[in-house]
Amino acid sequence: MKKTSILLLTALLAAGNVCAQGKDNQRLSKEEFREKQKTFITQRAELTPEEAQKFFPLFYELQDKKKLLNDSVRWNIRQIKRMKAVPAAQYEKALDQMYDTRIRAAQMDKEYYLKFKSVLPAQKIYKVQRAEMCFKRDIVKEKMEKEKKD
């Protein structure tokens, strides 16, 4: 059960790293995106205003930390894309970093899950996770539909 919860939390929080959504060929600012995300999750997870006030600072703190981790991996991937001849060692280094980053992200998910438990009951944490998955799916779906129209 714990492993399932941790995996769910990992997947959901990783999904929270979506940075912006298309809107008339414009991206939402980080603040606009987070406000939309907060509203969606608060409604779906049935959080009280007090719960949301305690939960979201932790949630966004985790997202920010995971973004920093993922940014370095993205930078390495971009470096490889720019190279004409990529040495095998470069691929190995990038893959090692990617897997190390996933492990660190999972450790952070566990660390923050324990923090979340101090402000929300397990049932609501579960609902938050489900809401975050739905939010990500809706964002991707909207983006795909918009790209089809363009």
pTM over 0.85: no
**What are the residue ranges of helices labelled H in 16-121?**
30-44, 49-82, 88-117
- Lowest mean per-residue pLDDT among 58-62, 112-116, 139-143: 139-143
What the block records as the tokens of 84 is 């004409």
pLDDT, tens digit, 9 for 90 and up, residues 21-70 = 444 445 778 999 999 999 999 999 999 999 999 999 999 999 999 999 99
Q: What is the DSSP letter of 118?
A: T
Contacts of 67 (CB under 8 A, 6+ apart): 17, 19
88 or 54: which leads in pLDDT: 54
* Backbone φ/ψ region at 24: left (φ over 0), alpha (ψ -120 to 50), beta: left
Any bridge partners for residue 80, and if so which?
A: none
For the cut 60, the answer to whether the pLDDT of residue 12 exceeds it is no
Percent of the chain with pLDDT over 70: 83
Percent of the chain with pLDDT over 90: 51
Helix, strand, or coil (residue 27): strand
